Amino acid sequence: MTPTTPVTNPPGTAGPRRPFGRTLCAMVTPFTGTGTLDLDGARRLAARLAADGCDGLVLNGTTGESPTTTDAEKSELISAVREAVGEGVVLVAGVGTADTRHTVELTRAAEKAGADGVLVVSPYYSRPPQDALEAHFLEVAGASGLPVMLYDIPGRTGTRIEPETLVRLAAHPAIVAVKDCSYDFLGTQKVLARTELAYYAGCDEHVLALYAVGGAGCVSTVANVVPDRVAAILDAFDAGDTARAAELQRRAVPLIEAMTAAGLPGTVTSKALLNALGRPAGPVRAPLRSAGPEAADGLRAVYEEFAAG
């Protein structure tokens, strides 16, 4: 089955193929104070992210706490966000699990709920060899009419999608993109050189670096709180002002470090800042724990210094 969503650049853009837009946010899943799904909050957050520079949203990903949301909640979230942002914002639904059958079910449910594409992470814990991994992705890719973004994050899954495997998978018409958290910049460039896969930086510190060698954009955690600043990095590069783009990327480093590399998961730090700013977020679900007062205050200080710059 081939994808029904056109795999083309948005109107007015040039350069690398961007099947899912350019500036995507790995959106948190807002919960109420009692831990239930906050659909109204999700609508408001998604609308704000779209208005402030995101042309795509990834729902039900790691930052969206997909391991602790039910299948029904995942579909409800997609439907609610689609209602809020309309058809002008690309919605990519995280559907990856450790079970091929379950991943296929979530893919079909995401299509029914209104997603434009799916994000499929390598099956985790079981650590399948490359031939089994390839078969898993091919089965998911053929299960719906949605285009697929593969998610390469071996630090979490325990399994790398090897460059040669990615080259083979690129032959499938529905497999069109990669969210890259491999931390193998050489391997990434080798795949870029040999395929038409659209590469999205999944690590905020790599947003500009990957874009500069032909990446399509980013799937950013930091964009939950500063979507305009993330978009501005890519805007400057597109305008030919590479020095400005580099300056903006460097300015973001303290916030990127505080949110993604200072000991707390990005979900926790994103929600702590969103809550502090009065935006929809709420608590995290166990086994995660919300940031304590000291950590939350530290995050807010870094954010305020960055926002003032």
Residue pair 273/24 in contact (Cβ under 8 Å)? The answer is no
Residue pair 219/24 in contact (Cβ under 8 Å)? The answer is yes
**Cα 248 to Cα 268: distance, rounded to the nearest angstrom:** 24
- Does 179 participate in catalysis according to the annotation? yes
**Cα 304 to Cα 156: distance, rounded to the nearest angstrom:** 30
Written as six digits, the tokens of 287 are: 């086994």
What is the dihedral angle through the alpha carbons of 295, 299, 304, 305, rounded to the nearest 10 degrees?
A: 100
- Does 190 participate in catalysis according to the annotation? no
Run of H or E residues at 56: strand 56-59
Nearest in space to 271 (alpha carbons), one of 19, 11, 9, 41: 41
Q: Is 134 helix (H, G, I), strand (E, B) or coil?
A: helix
Q: What is the DSSP letter of 165?
A: H
Q: What is the DSSP letter of 112?
A: H
**Which residue among the candidates 151, 200, 211, 303 is catalytic per the annotation?**
151
Q: What is the DSSP letter of 214?
A: T
The whole-angstrom distance between residue 107's C-alpha and the CA centroid of its chain comes to 16
Q: Phi, psi (5° rounding) for residue 207? A: -55, -55
Nearest in space to 135 (alpha carbons), one of 168, 159, 102: 168
**Which residue among the candidates 74, 179, 200, 271 is catalytic per the annotation?**
179
Residues annotated as catalytic are 151, 179
